[in-house]
Amino acid sequence: MNNQLVTKDYLVFILYFILVASYGYWIYRRRKSREHDSKAFFLAEGSLTWWAIGASLISSNISAEQFVGMSGDGFFAGVAVAVYEWVAAIALIVIAVWFMPIYLKNKIYTMPQFLKMRYNDTVSLIMTVFWLFLYILINLTSILYLGAVAISGLVGPEFLHPIMIGLSLFALIITLGGMKVIGFTDVIQVAVLIIGGFATIYFALQQVSQHVGNSTGVANGFTTLMKEAPDHFHMIFKKPTADSSQYDIQRYVILPGIAMYFLGQWIVNINYWGCNQYITQRALGANLNTARTGILFAGMLKILMPIIVMLPGIAAYVLYKNGVPMTGLKPNVAPENLYMIKDKAYSSVLAFLPAGLRGLSIAALTAAIVASLAGKANSISTIFTLDIYKKYLGKDASEKQLVMIGRIAIVVAMLLGIMLTWDDSLGIGGEGGFTFIQKYTGFISPGILAMFLMGMFWKRTTGAAAVAGILVGFISSVILNEYAAQWFGHETIFYTAFPVIKAGVTNWEIPFLICMGWSGVITVLVMVAISLAGPKVNPNAITIERGMFKVTPRILTMIVIILLLIMAIYVRFW
Q: Which has the closest alpha carbon to 452: 111, 51, 82, 17?
A: 111
The DSSP-derived string for 93-107 is HHIIIIIHHHHHHTT
Residue pair 282/60 in contact (Cβ under 8 Å)? The answer is yes
Q: Which long-range contacts (CB under 8 A, 24 or more apart) does 490-497 make?
A: 494/518, 496/239
CB 406 within 8 A of CB 382: yes
Q: Which CATH superfamily is domain 7-25+37-441+544-573 in?
A: Sodium/glucose cotransporter (1.20.1730.10)
- Cβ atoms of 136 and 124 within 8 Å: the answer is no
pLDDT of residue 203: 87
E strand segments, 202-338: none
CB 235 within 8 A of CB 79: yes
Pinpoint the alpha helices (H) of 385-427. Answer: 399-421
Distance, CA of 328 to CA of 248 (rounded, Å)? 24
Residue of 321, 345, 338, 336 lying closest to 248 (CA atoms): 336
Task: Classify residue 177 by its DSSP letter.
Answer: T
pLDDT values of the chain reduced to their tens digit, one per residue, 574 residues: 444 677 888 888 888 778 877 777 777 676 554 545 555 565 555 567 888 888 878 877 777 667 777 888 899 999 999 999 999 999 999 999 999 999 999 988 888 889 999 999 889 888 888 888 888 888 888 888 877 877 786 677 788 888 888 888 888 877 776 666 666 666 777 777 788 788 889 888 999 999 888 888 888 999 999 999 999 999 999 999 989 999 999 999 999 999 999 999 999 999 989 998 767 777 777 889 999 999 999 999 999 888 888 999 999 999 999 988 887 778 878 887 887 888 788 888 887 888 777 787 777 777 778 777 877 888 888 888 888 888 888 888 887 888 888 888 888 988 988 888 887 777 666 555 566 777 777 788 899 999 999 999 999 999 999 999 999 999 999 999 999 999 999 999 999 999 998 777 889 999 999 999 999 999 999 999 999 998 988 889 998 888 899 999 999 999 999 999 999 999 988 8
Strands 505-509, 498-502: pairing is antiparallel
CB-count burial class (<10 Å; 0-12, 13-18, 19+) for 203: buried
Cα four-point dihedral sign 327, 332, 338, 340: negative
**pLDDT of amino acid 179:** 62
Instruction: Kindly calculate the radius of gyration of the chain based on its CA atoms and give it in whole angstroms.
Output: 23
| DSSP 8-class letter at 135 | I
Nearest to 88 by CA among 279, 326, 242, 252: 279
Check residue 156 and give its pLDDT: 73
